[in-house]
Amino acid sequence: MVGALPLMVSASQSRGSKRRSALWRLLAAAPPLVFLGVFFAWPVSAILLRGLRPHGSWNFAVFGEVFSDPSMRRVLWFTLWESIASTVLCVIVALPAAAMFARFRFKGKRVLWSALLVPFVLPTVVVAVSMLGVIGGGGLTGVNLNGTVWAILIAHVFFNYAVVVRTVGATWSTIDPRLEESARTLGAPSWRVFRDITWPLIRSSVAAAASIVFLFSFTSFGIVLILGGISHRTLEVEIYDQTAKFLHLDIAAVLAIVQLVVVVVILMWFGRSQRRRSVLLEQRSASETERSTETSRQRWLIRSNILFMAVLFGVPLGLLVVRSFSTPNGWGFGFYQALTDTRGGSTSFVPPIDAVGNSLLFALLATAIALVLGLCAAWAIVGDGSKNSSIFSRWTDTALMIPLGTSAVTVGFGFLIVFDEPPLNLRSSLWLIPIAHAIVALPFVVRLLVPGLRSIDPRLREAASMLGASPRRVWWTIDVPIVGRALAAAAGFAFAVSLGEFGATAFLARPDRPTMPIAIYRALGRPGDYNFGQAMAMSTILMVLTIVVVTVIDRFRPAGVSEF
Amino acid sequence: MKRWFAVAALALVVLAGACGSSGSSSKPAATIAPVLVNGALPRFDTPVTLRVMTHDSFAVTQSVLDEFEAATNVKVELIASGDAVAMTNAAILTAGNPVADVIFGFDENLLGSVLESNLLQAYTPQRLSTVDKSYVLDASGMATPIDHGDVCVNFDRAAFTNSANQIPTSFDGLIQSPVTNKFVVEDPSTSTPGLAFMLATIAKFGGGDDTSANAKWLSYWKQLKANGVSVVDSWETAYYGSFSGGSGKGDHPLVVSYASSPPAEVADTSLAADESPTGVITETCYQQTEFAGILRGAANPRAAATFLEFMLGGSFQADVPGQMYVYPVVMGTPLPDTFAKYTAPVTNPLTLPYTDVAAHRDRWIAQWSALFR
């Protein structure tokens, strides 16, 4: 499918026919939209209907019941302000790091860039237990934030930092630093350079990242349950309880619709600020834009960023690694050796190490699905800049993001009632796992690809074909180098999303094919040093694996990028 | 271009086909004849695949399952569906057109909703006669007891060393000053052991019919609250995050866990039973029985009945403690050594009639939540 892209692109450009290009775009948008229609919209609307139209007649009275319930209103208000606060906080603390990665050369940069994704993939319960060891009172710091909204905010920053740093950092690194340098030479103070030069250029990627952080915080589940104590509840928690615990599908449906409406409104708002971009700018490759540090202020920027990351990530994750080596018989690899133990050959103790293979396989499939569909979607969204195309883009973009703002339990229970007949009797099919992961990964892929595609100046392609380049050659020398970097970043994100996905997998995984987060969760569900240690060892392996895989993908640069 | 059309068209056709064929028929469930042949499991002439829906803590030794498959020609496919509550609700949602043939792992607190929602078809295993009668709660033959355990308060032995600070032995001990800020429980609305402990207080102190905020059992919770009890979402957070005993990493020496947790904390089996790192306050124990049943609309009801008989057979029953930290229900089943040595016998666990739980559970949780949220 990827191979079809150059033909499409060049066909639409060289003939220059607006109508024809609109048709192409529609066709490109079809696979991702059909995919989402079948695997998301259909199950979700089925479960909502089951709640609102239980015996063939509509039950709208439940809306009134829910909205007049003060505890529900409290939940909604808390969810809203908690997610806005998390998003603002996350963007503020992550922007300096994005600048650091975009602008400077320093030791260990590549590994750190990849390692950023580690928090993003770790199962919530593992991180939360580690965090309790740091800020749970009686822990390393002696500070007790357990049950406060601060614990929730810190954890949200912990999980979403990478989203902002990597999304904004990638865009920032393609901006020609000479723009900023000339402004400075002309006497502008740093804050003005940032406000007038840099900010307009990175704004759309900040909006893209912020909307994802918002969605994750808005639908936060595990963090709120574990660190927020029992008085803090989000809409997501309430939806889970009403669906899976009480089977009050009517109340759950109302809450899910509220969640959907808020998510769409917020996404449209973010979408608007994303489109307000300024100029088509020639992109630079990262190696051209990074500088070695010169002034002490620059060195201070790097040091303080690294210190911040060391505290936020190093301490809780370090504690986790330390615990994975701290066996009852002293320091050692005991828990790691135990991972290969079949433990009397139990069905649920398929050697936990097998989960590594399962996770990699599912992640590979999910990444492939997400990249193919993501490329189609991104290309359709970029469009030709006409008014019709921008309305179309806005809706496609929003549609792709909606799954991130929907509760896994709504989708999971929806699967149960729609995929129950041939030819789609998929309820116990292993295919649902990579499919579910791809749905979650798709918005990341699209958000990383769109800015890249959008920044391609059509005149570049026109010039190339005018000079006699074949369509394939135009694609290879113009599109690939520009999109390639975004594609590599997108693959990394998709892979990481799949490795770490838990909510949907918990409903879909079969006991004989657990993924790593499932295996970790399983071990943590049983008492004893042996089980706890295995969970920590498995988490450490998941961390290392993430770093390795993402480093490899980050290193992969399509040929020709250096000529660009 | 053709490729795109093909993909889109195919997807639409599949979608339309799937939509068109929905709407399941609910056939009446035929009675299942006893399956045992001279007391042994039957062998199927042609290979059969049996799907078993379980909660995600289900475990059985592979060789035990292999023996079953070899003996009966039935291939078992396990489907994990979240915790016991989520699994049961998923089954209720798909009643009549089930994901599996057998469901295992709903407890007496879910039994009421299971029976109400016409989820199962009856089969009374021939081997039910070997089961301790106190666990047979459902006379209609829908739900077969498979294992039982107890939810009890566990203590960290190392935290109670001197005479001024002795291990509490009763509910009353948990509201006294020596254990102020030292007890952690799970939220009954989100956690199964949390719910069991709340039910234990209702069974102990009464007042389950009282809908006011002054119900007797709630007065006990007010005292617990005044004594600084902390409430967390799940067993994992309570045991590993807050409990100080054994493998726990927190600073609370008292936690709501299971009667079978202490053996898991014993690394050195030469320890005497009263030296194990953690122990159980037996007065606080609440009985929990896990059931299995045949789902209405099962593709293979006879194979499902065979699996129920297998779960009440000697090899599965003996395997249950080591794999799932619970006790067998069949009388006379031998226990593993560490289990026998390090679990305190729970002679008279607290219980409530499952019909009461089904009728009042949501209100009790609401009353509890009003006090704590």
pLDDT digits (tens, 9 = 90+) for B126-162: 999 999 999 999 888 899 999 999 999 999 999 998 7
Whole-number average pLDDT of chain A: 81
- In the A/B pair of chains, how many CB contacts fall below 8 A? 202
> Do B7 and B130 lie in a common domain?
yes
> Do B205 and B238 lie in a common domain?
yes
8 Å CB contact of B93 and A420 = no
- Higher pLDDT pick, A349 / B131: B131
Q: Are B101 and B79 in contact (CB under 8 A)?
A: no
| Chain B residue with minimum CA distance to A224 | B233
**B308 inside domain:** yes
- Contact residues, chain A, for B249 at CB < 8 Å: 129, 132-133, 323, 532
The pLDDT, as a whole number, for residue A551 is: 78
- Contact residues, chain B, for A417 at CB < 8 Å: 93-94
> Do B257 and B174 lie in a common domain?
yes
CB proximity under 8 Å: A 402-441 to B: 409, 413, 416-424, 427-428
**Mean per-residue pLDDT, B71-92:** 88
Domain span at residue B323 reads 2-147+289-335
> One-letter amino acid identity for A256?
A
The pLDDT, as a whole number, for residue A296 is: 82
Instruction: Name the residue facing A525 among B65, B187, B236 (closest C-beta).
Output: B236
pLDDT band at B223 (very low <50, low <70, confident <90, very high): very high
Question: Chain B closest CA to A201's CA: distance in Å?
Answer: 35
> Do B321 and B296 lie in a common domain?
yes
Question: Chain A closest CA to B79's CA: distance in Å?
Answer: 5
Question: Chain A closest CA to B82's CA: distance in Å?
Answer: 6
**B176 inside domain:** yes
**B341 inside domain:** no
- Contact residues, chain A, for B237 at CB < 8 Å: 125, 128-129, 132, 226
The pLDDT, as a whole number, for residue B174 is: 95
The pLDDT, as a whole number, for residue A386 is: 63
> One-letter amino acid identity for A441?
A
Q: What angle do CA A228, A234, A239 make, to 5 degrees?
A: 130
Q: How far apart are CA A266 and CA A262, in angstroms?
A: 6
Q: At a CB cut-off of 8 Å and minimum separation 6, what does B49 contact?
A: B74, B75, B77, B300
> Do B29 and B61 lie in a common domain?
yes
ω into A423 cis (within 30 of 0): yes
Q: Are A478 and A461 in contact (CB under 8 A)?
A: yes
> Do B277 and B294 lie in a common domain?
no
8 Å CB contact of B267 and A420 = no
Question: Chain B closest CA to A439's CA: distance in Å?
Answer: 16
pLDDT for B26 beyond 60: no
Q: Write out pLDDT tens, residues A171-230.
A: 888 788 888 888 888 888 888 888 888 888 888 889 888 988 998 899 888 888 878 877
8 Å CB contact of A346 and B59 = yes
Question: Chain A closest CA to B72's CA: distance in Å?
Answer: 18
**Mean per-residue pLDDT, B80-96:** 85
- Higher pLDDT pick, B150 / A290: B150
**B233 inside domain:** yes
> Do B138 and B259 lie in a common domain?
no
pLDDT for B250 beyond 80: yes
Q: Are B75 and B50 in contact (CB under 8 A)?
A: yes
- Contact residues, chain A, for B269 at CB < 8 Å: none
Q: Write out pLDDT tens, residues B251-294.
A: 899 999 999 899 888 878 888 888 899 999 999 999 999 999 99
Kindly report each contact of residues B201-207 with a partner whose C-beta sits within 8 Å and lies 24 or more positions away, as own/partner: B201/B171, B202/B352, B202/B364, B203/B286, B203/B350, B203/B351, B203/B352, B204/B171, B204/B350, B205/B171
pLDDT band at B29 (very low <50, low <70, confident <90, very high): low
**Mean per-residue pLDDT, A241-247:** 84
Q: Are B91 and A524 in contact (CB under 8 A)?
A: no
Tokens of B279: 């122990």
The pLDDT, as a whole number, for residue A373 is: 94
Pairing of strands A291-292, A104-105: parallel
Q: What percent of chain B has pLDDT over 90?
A: 61
Q: How far apart are CA B360 and CA B370, in angstroms?
A: 15
Considering only A380-389, A510-519, B163-172, which range has the smallest mean pLDDT?
A380-389
**B63 inside domain:** yes
Q: Which of A319, A348, A520 to mutate to test the interface with B (most CBs of B within 10 A)?
A: A348
Residue B348: which of B295, B298, B285 has the closest Cα? B285
Tokens of A508: 């879909």
> Do B249 and B276 lie in a common domain?
yes
State the burial class of residue B26 (Cβ atoms within 10 Å of its Cβ: 0-12, 13-18, 19+).
exposed
Q: H/E/C letters for each residue in A257-274?
A: HHHHHHHHHHHHHHHHHH
The pLDDT, as a whole number, for residue B10 is: 42
Residue B144 φ then ψ, to 5° = -100, 125
> Do B13 and B36 lie in a common domain?
yes
Residue A136: which of A126, A151, A156 has the closest Cα? A151
Beta bridge partners of B77: B51
**Percent helix, strand, coil in chain A (nearest 5)?**
75, 0, 25
Q: How far apart are CA B337 and CA B335, in angstroms?
A: 6
pLDDT for A17 beyond 70: no
Q: Write out pLDDT tens, residues A527-550.
A: 788 788 888 888 898 888 888 887
- Contact residues, chain B, for A413 at CB < 8 Å: 90, 93
pLDDT for A349 beyond 80: no
Beta bridge partners of B48: B74
Residue B78 φ then ψ, to 5° = -90, 140
> Do B128 and B29 lie in a common domain?
yes
The pLDDT, as a whole number, for residue B16 is: 40
**B132 inside domain:** yes
Chain-centre distance of CA A519, in angstroms? 22
Where residue B189 sits, what CATH number does that domain have? Answer: 3.40.190.10
Q: Are B293 and B142 in contact (CB under 8 A)?
A: yes
Q: Write out pLDDT tens, residues B333-358.
A: 999 888 888 888 888 899 999 999 99
Question: Chain A closest CA to B21's CA: distance in Å?
Answer: 7
The pLDDT, as a whole number, for residue A20 is: 65
Residue B145: which of B349, B33, B288 has the closest Cα? B288
The pLDDT, as a whole number, for residue A277 is: 52
Pairing of strands B48-54, A330-331: unpaired
**B367 inside domain:** yes
Q: Are A30 and B8 in contact (CB under 8 A)?
A: yes
> Do B228 and B309 lie in a common domain?
no
CB proximity under 8 Å: A 467-526 to B: 506-507, 509-512, 518, 521-522, 524-526
Q: Which of A15, A129, A358 to mutate to test the interface with B (most CBs of B within 10 A)?
A: A129
**B340 inside domain:** no
Tokens of A335: 């828990």
The pLDDT, as a whole number, for residue B119 is: 92
8 Å CB contact of A428 and B79 = yes
8 Å CB contact of A38 and B94 = no
- Contact residues, chain B, for A15 at CB < 8 Å: none
Q: Which of B50, B81, B109, B371 to mutate to test the interface with A (most CBs of A within 10 A)?
A: B81
pLDDT for A406 beyond 70: yes
Question: Chain A closest CA to B60's CA: distance in Å?
Answer: 5
> Do B161 and B205 lie in a common domain?
yes
Considering only A109-113, A212-216, B212-216, B319-323, which range has the smallest mean pLDDT?
A109-113
Q: Determine contact: A38 vs chain B, CB below 8 A.
A: yes
Q: What percent of chain B has pLDDT over 70?
A: 92
The pLDDT, as a whole number, for residue A26 is: 79
8 Å CB contact of B247 and A529 = yes
Question: Chain B closest CA to A517's CA: distance in Å?
Answer: 13
The pLDDT, as a whole number, for residue B15 is: 43
Instruction: Name the residue facing A532 among B24, B62, B247 (closest C-beta).
Output: B247
Rounded to 10 degrees, the C-alpha dihedral A501/A507/A510/A514 comes to 30
As for how many domains chain B has, the answer is 2
Q: What angle do CA A344, B72, A345 make, to 5 degrees?
A: 10
8 Å CB contact of A511 and B94 = no
